[in-house]
Amino acid sequence: MHHRPRRLAASLAIAALFAAFPALPARAAGEKPIFALTDPRGDDHGDGNLRYPRRDDLRPGDLDLLSLEARAVSDGTEFEARFARPIQPTARRTIDIGGGSLDDIAKYNFYTFNLDIYIDTDRVPGSGSLALLPGRKAEVDPANAWEKAICLTPRPNEARTALKRILTRFDRKERKARGERVETSQAKEIDSQIDRDTDARVFFPTRIHVFGSTIKFFVPASFLGGVARPTWSYVVAVSGADIEQEVDIAAALKLTAPDPDSLMIVPIEPGAWGDRFGGGRDDDPLQPPLVDVIVPPGRTQEAILQDDDPLKNRPVRLPGVVPSPPDAAK
C-alpha cells in the first residue's frame, strides 16, 4: 500500500488454521436472512475504466457481485455472495513450471476473486481501523472505521501467513523510523502480539461451499461476538485473486529481499494485460484494483473509486452500508 498502514499493523494478527472442508452449519429451512445487500448488475469495472485481463478463464461478469446475504446458523453466521456469472471452479490442470495443479493450490473450488468485508461494529466515527488489507490501495471512510474484517480468498492459510509477514515488516519499519531498537526477546513478544491481535480482527473463512454463481462461507460467533447484525456498517469489495503469490520462506528468514506489500490481489496498470487488470490511470499509484464495491444509495462506485489524490498521498475512502439503520422504522 502507498499510505501508512499503522492503524492496521498495530491491531492485526494471524488466526489459527481450520480444517479444509467441514460442512457448513445447518440453518432452519426458509429462515429469512439477517440482512441482504444488493449491487447493480454490470458494474464490475471498478472506477469505470478497469478492464478484465486478457485470459480465457476470466470474463466480464465473473467478478460482478449482485448480492450479499447473512443468515444466523449454529455457532455463527453464514454469508452468501451471488455473482452475475457462474463461479469458475478449480480443475486439475498444471499452472506453473513446478508442476503445481490448480486444484492443489486453490482447494476450495474457486480461484478468481477475493471478497473483503470490513465491519464497523461499534458505529462510533473514527473508532477502529481505516486501512484495507494490503494491496487494496484504499481506506474505509472514518465514519465507518472497522473493528472486524473478513477476507474470503482462494488460499486462506497462505494469505494468513503472508499477512503476518507484511504486518511484521510494517511494524519493524515503523519502529525503525521512530528510532526504536528492538531486541530479540522483544521482537518475539511483538510478533506474538501481532498474532493475537490479528486473530481478533481478521478472519479467513475455510468452511466454504460453491454452488453455480453463489458462494457460501461460515464466520463463527466467537469472531464476531455473536451473529452479524443488520445495524452494523459493512464495506464490501471484490478484487481479482493472485493465487500464485507464494509464501517466500527465504524472504521470511530474511535471506532475500521481502516480497511486495500486497495480499493475494491482481493489480491494475495502464494498457491491456494478460496477468493484471487494464485501464489503469497514468501517474496514479493510488488507483485501487477493486473490481466491484457495494456503495450506499445516492453514491456511485465509479465516483468513489476515482476520488484519490496522489499528490497528497490520499487514497480513496470507501463508505460503509448499513442494511437496517436503528431509526429506519421511525
The DSSP result for 247-286, as a single string, is --HHHHTTSSPPPPS--SB--B-SS--SSSBB-PPTT-TT
Q: What is the pLDDT of residue 181?
A: 82
- Find the mean pLDDT for residues 105-131: 95
- Range name among 91-95, 151-155, 172-176, 302-306 with the lowest pLDDT average: 91-95
pLDDT of residue 85: 98
DSSP 26-94: P--TTPPPSEEEE--TT--STTTT-B--SBTTB-TTTT-EEEEEEEEETTEEEEEEEESSPPPPP-S-B
Which of 298, 290, 294 has its CA nearest to residue 320? Answer: 294
What is the model's pLDDT at position 301?
A: 98
β-strands 148-152, 202-203 pairing: parallel
pLDDT score at 25: 56
Task: Note the pLDDT of residue 19.
Answer: 31
CA distance 241 to 138: 17
Lowest mean pLDDT among 90-99, 175-184, 268-277: 90-99
Q: What is the pTM of this model?
A: 0.86
Confidence of residue 179 (pLDDT cuts 50, 70, 90): confident
- Cα 176 from Cα 199, distance rounded (Å): 25
- Tell me what the mean pLDDT of segment 230-251 comes to: 80
**For range 211-221, the mean pLDDT:** 98
Decide which of 94 and 152 is more confident.
152
pLDDT at 73: 95
- Greater model confidence, 209 or 2: 209
Residue 13 has pLDDT above 80, yes or no: no
Residue 180 predicted with pLDDT over 70: yes
pLDDT at 176: 83
Answer whether residue 328 shows pLDDT above 60. Answer: no
Q: How far apart are CA 116 and CA 118, in angstroms?
A: 7
Strand 65-73 versus strand 208-211 pairing type: unpaired
> Which CATH code is given to the segment(s) 6-318?
2.60.40.1190
Distance between CA atoms of residues 244 and 241, nearest Å: 9
> In angstroms, what CA-CA distances link 104 with 86, 87, 96, 218?
21, 18, 12, 22
Residue 147 has pLDDT above 60, yes or no: yes
* pLDDT reading at 137 higher than 70: yes
Residue 242's pLDDT is 93
Q: What is the pLDDT of residue 247?
A: 44
Span 256-295, pLDDT tens digits: 444 558 999 999 999 999 999 999 999 999 999 999 999 9
